[in-house]
Amino acid sequence: MKRAYKIYLIVFAVVVIAAIAIGTIGMNKQKSHIYVMPSGYTGWVEVVYNQKDSPALPKEGKALLHIIPQDGVLKTSSAPTDGGMTFYYADAQGKRSEIGNDMIFGQSIRKKDIKLSDGTTASADVNSFFVGTEQQYNAQLAKKP
């Protein structure tokens, strides 16, 4: 009986260690994302991926950096990836202040038809979210047909 119990403990320990190792490897492979919006920006943000004529997302440390322009639409040749998201406002001098998750609403990644420069349309992966108060977000939703 003692021998079976020892074997059970050894097998259990191996399984736990393997699960922790696999989980850690998976977490380390996920990219993190930094989103930097113009100071005081309120509205929808769209990141349009896999756009051939657009630059790749730069890196800041191990994170992918998304510098959102004034119109809220960033086009990039990079592919979408999973990972944590951190949001900032940046003033004219580039000084950042973190935006709390209580100011981010409606985040989703989906396929969307976008208009190309030649007048045609194509389907693209788009990550979108709203930056603002809950009241502003609800007002924007009420405006949608």
pLDDT, residue 28, reads 46
d(CA 95, CA 89): 8
pLDDT, residue 121, reads 83
How many structural domains compose the chain? 2
If asked whether residues 74 and 134 sit together in one domain, one would say: yes
pLDDT, residue 4, reads 65
pLDDT, residue 26, reads 43
Length of the chain: 145
If asked whether residues 11 and 50 sit together in one domain, one would say: no
What range defines the domain where residue 82 resides?
Answer: 31-143
pLDDT, residue 8, reads 59
pLDDT, residue 7, reads 67
If asked whether residues 6 and 70 sit together in one domain, one would say: no
If asked whether residues 23 and 41 sit together in one domain, one would say: no
Span 76-117, pLDDT tens digits? 999 999 899 999 999 999 999 999 999 999 999 898 887 777
pLDDT, residue 119, reads 81
Span 120-139, pLDDT tens digits? 888 889 999 999 999 999 99
User: What are the structure tokens assigned to 6, written together?
Assistant: 């020892």
If asked whether residues 83 and 15 sit together in one domain, one would say: no
pLDDT, residue 24, reads 46
Count of C-beta atoms within a 10 Å radius of residue 3 = 7
If asked whether residues 3 and 65 sit together in one domain, one would say: no
Query: Residue 131: how many CA atoms within 13 Å on its side-chain side?
Result: 24
Span 3-50, pLDDT tens digits? 766 665 665 555 545 455 454 444 444 579 999 999 999 999 999 999
DSSP for the chain? Answer: -HHHHHHHHHHHHHHHHHHHHHHHHHHHHS-EEEEEEETT--EEEEEE---TTSPPPPEETTEEEEE--TTSEEE-SSPP----EEEEEE-TT--EEEEPGGGEEEEEEEEEEEE-TTS-EEEEEEEEEEES-HHHHHHHHHH--
If asked whether residues 67 and 4 sit together in one domain, one would say: no
If asked whether residues 35 and 74 sit together in one domain, one would say: yes
